[in-house]
Amino acid sequence: MKAIVTVIGKDTVGIIAHVCAVLAENGVNVLDISQTVMREYFTMIMLVDTAGCKVDFAALADILRRNGQARGLDVRIQREDIFEAMHRI
């Protein structure tokens, strides 16, 4: 299943490495990354594939959220379908 990970927060060194490490630990494959710093805020969008994920989706979302919180980041994972539905006819 494809999902979108969004990471938003104050820019610090090593955010991408940190988030990628958490995803790798849980068997999630990263397909695409786009990242920018907008108004001092670090914003990263990742397209990931959770087919090989070792934990269920809710647990993964929780792990990402808690890991993000520890670094002052808002990290979400959502199924790609919701964005497709809202923005494409």
List residues near another protein by CB under 8 A.
4, 6, 8, 32, 34, 36, 43, 45, 47, 57-58, 61, 76-88
| Residue nearer to another protein on the CB measure, 17 or 39 | 39
| Residue nearer to another protein on the CB measure, 43 or 67 | 43
Least distance to another protein from the beta carbon of 40, Å?
Answer: 15
Distance of alpha carbon 31 from alpha carbon 10, whole angstroms: 24
| Residue nearer to another protein on the CB measure, 40 or 87 | 87
